[in-house]
Amino acid sequence: MDDKKKDIKMRVNEGLDQGTVLFNVPFPKDLQKLDEMAPIIIKQPYQIDYIHSYGQDSPFFAGLANKVFLGTKCTKCGKVFPTPRKSCAVCGSPCEWLEMPKEARLHSFTVCHFGSESFLKETPYILALIEFDGADTLFLGRLVGVDPLKPSLDWIGMKLKMKFRRLSQFSPTDVYFLPAD
């Protein structure tokens, strides 16, 4: 019984100890001086895999895997959303799927020289807002085929074509954009 207790305690400690190295913990003899002590700072690792379902948006990703860019259209007000949504942001009605044109234009963009941790290795990369004829909103994608070190407002309005990643990763980056000419 006593041995088992000891065992559990040790395992618990192993978990808490991960990444923690602390030497020479200061401790004054006079307890009134404890508030002047330097803070103890430890490292607490945290890693997790999320199981993420695209739910009702899944057909969009199936489309990209088949080289088809799908948007949606409101069944009531007719607004067309190239970033698909099955519920209309304007009137709240259901939307149905439709294929978007193959040609698009650059609405706005930026060159990211820094990024979130998971994208740092890809810098400099170009984020682009894409507009389609007949659509009421935009699509956020990656732009390639222009020099990220020479950004220009003249790029805006540029005709774009879309390409699809050969090996689908079921991410919105399965489609990307480059100058049409």
Partner 1 sequence: MRKVYVVAGGVSKFAKARPDKTFTGLVREAYQEILDDLDMEAPQLNELIDSSVTSYFSDHFQRQLMAGIMGQDYLGLIPKPSHRVEGGGATGGICFQEAYKEVASGDADITLAFGFEYMSHVATWKGNEFIALASDVSFDYPVGGFYSGYYAMMVVRHMKEFGTTPEQMAHVSVKNHRNAYYNPYSQKPMKIGIQDVRNAPMVAWPLTRLDICTMSDGAAALLLVSEEGLEKLEKATGKTLPKVYVRAIGRGTDAMRLADRPHQTFDEFYKFNALESEKTSEAKAYYKELFEKGFKYPGVHSFRAGRMASKQAYERAGITDPAKEIDFVELHDAYTSSEIQTYEDMGLCYYGQGGPFAASGKAFLPNVEYGLTLPEKSQVPVNPSGGLIACGHPVGASGLMQGVFALWQLQHSIEKHFNNNKLQVPNAKTGAIHSHAGTGTYVTVSILQRED
Does 45 interact with partner 1 (rule: CB under 8 A)? no
Task: Tell me the C-alpha distance between 22 and 52, whole Å.
Answer: 38
| Binder of Zn ion out of 16, 90, 120, 140 (CB under 5 A) | 90
* Residues 77-116 close enough to bind partner 1 by CB under 8 A: 81-83, 85, 89-90, 107-116
Does 122 interact with partner 1 (rule: CB under 8 A)? yes
Task: Tell me the C-alpha distance between 41 and 36, whole Å.
Answer: 15
Does 18 interact with partner 1 (rule: CB under 8 A)? no
Contact 144, 130 (CB under 8 A): no
Q: Checking phi first, is residue 34 left (phi over 0); if not, alpha (psi -120 to 50) or beta?
A: alpha
Residue matched to tokens 């805006």: 156
Binding site for partner 1 (CB under 8 A): 39, 41, 44, 46, 52, 54, 57, 81-83, 85, 89-90, 107-120, 122, 125, 127-129, 136-142, 151, 153, 156, 171-173
